[in-house]
């Protein structure tokens, strides 16, 4: 016959095993990110009326952003992308001047990031690029972007 203390020991051991498994899985996931699954990218973000936040470092009140349509943002990004791809402009310089993201102060550099750290469309586009490639227009809840994978 099992006593209450026997049941408690069994329950404790299952709980400890479950916790150990969770820690192991979490460690494996984070080490896979560290072991090369991270990418590095820069981007140019143009916010518009549909963006989740209507303010930026260069438009703190969001006055211009609230007036900008998504179509206007996309048209601006297409033009900027054309200038970058043709060699007329440098990605970092364009990001510093036009991006609504605070990363503009670093030429659009977002640093390294792993899966699950960015919005899904942004992540998918970045991981699909080769180092040095520039994406087409990518739409997220933050606005419209062009992305350059840098690492």
Enzyme catalytic residues: 43, 101, 119, 142, 145
| Residue 130 DSSP symbol | P
**DSSP three-state, residue 120:** helix
**DSSP three-state, residue 119:** coil
Nearest CA to 51 out of 67, 30, 37, 29 is that of 67
| Residue 16 DSSP symbol | H
- The half-sphere exposure of 82 on its side-chain side, counting CA atoms within 13 A, is 6
């Amino acid at each position: 016959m099992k006593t209450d203390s026997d049941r408690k020991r069994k329950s404790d051991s299952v709980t400890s095993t479950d916790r150990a498994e969770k820690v192991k899985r979490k460690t494996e996931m984070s080490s896979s990110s560290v072991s090369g699954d991270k990418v590095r990218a820069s981007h140019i973000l143009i916010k518009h009326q549909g963006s989740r936040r209507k303010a930026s470092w260069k438009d703190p009140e969001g006055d211009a952003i609230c007036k900008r349509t998504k179509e206007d943002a996309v048209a601006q990004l297409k033009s900027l992308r054309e200038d970058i791809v043709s060699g007329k402009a440098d990605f970092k310089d364009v990001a510093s001047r036009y991006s609504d993201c605070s990363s503009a102060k670093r030429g659009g550099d977002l640093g390294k990031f792993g899966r699950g750290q960015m919005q899904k469309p942004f992540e998918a586009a970045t991981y699909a690029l080769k180092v040095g490639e520039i994406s087409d227009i990518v739409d997220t809840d933050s606005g419209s972007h062009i992305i350059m994978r840098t690492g």
